[in-house]
Chains A and B, each alone.
Chain A
């Protein structure tokens, strides 16, 4: 059974960098899926942040691309998110997830089949 667990600080100061890690169990992240991050501001809808392959190939949301960096640590079966220059609007529950895909030259992301439980990150001084 695939399980994902987010970890990281629950409080980040404005203008600083938000850093989260997702630990995957029950499945190797090198076994052929993209992995991603999604966030949900309190009381609002879901917002796709981006996805990464174990090779390091990434796809980012155009609206967040300038502030987002994703990385993979295959030795720990983990992937990570960094979001720079955060503001109050970045306060949200952050989810990590598994993303099935196909590749014919470029890759197409299909859907999200497994989600972590989510972690609330609050941006406040």
Chain B
């Protein structure tokens, strides 16, 4: 199985919005509503930010939102804050009964 495709890096200024894309195929992202997004700060374990395409776990800011269209899922972060600077990974369930990660996107807050 191939990793999902994410941009290597994105950036934005405080207060702005950024969107990170995650492109797969009809066998993963496009075939199931089981796309999730995790945030990872350096040296730390990932933290779940979005699950089932657009749901937020308790305690996650509503500045984080998720969506999906066809084979591409997206994570949007609005009102950027310095603490949002981190690596972001998408994950999807696949038709092979496995999970697959995206390659990761480094978010820089300018």
Contacts and interface: CB of A to CB of B under 8 A. Distances in A.
B98 A59 contact: yes
A111 B97 contact: no
Contact of B36 (A45, A60, A62, A112): A112
A60 B98 CA distance: 7
Contact of A111 (B3, B36, B103): B36
Contacts of B57: 113
Nearest to B89: A46
**Interface range on chain B (Cβ under 8 Å from partner):** 20 to 34
Contact of B48 (A46, A59, A111): A111
B91 interface: yes
B101 A47 contact: yes
A106 B36 contact: no
Top-7 shortest CB links A-B? A111-B36, A115-B45, A45-B104, A111-B51, A46-B101, A48-B99, A110-B34
22 contacts: A45-B3, A45-B89, A46-B38, A46-B46, A46-B89, A46-B101, A46-B104, A47-B101, A59-B97, A61-B98, A62-B96, A62-B98, A107-B97, A108-B93, A108-B97, A109-B97, A109-B98, A109-B99, A111-B34, A112-B46, A115-B46, A117-B45
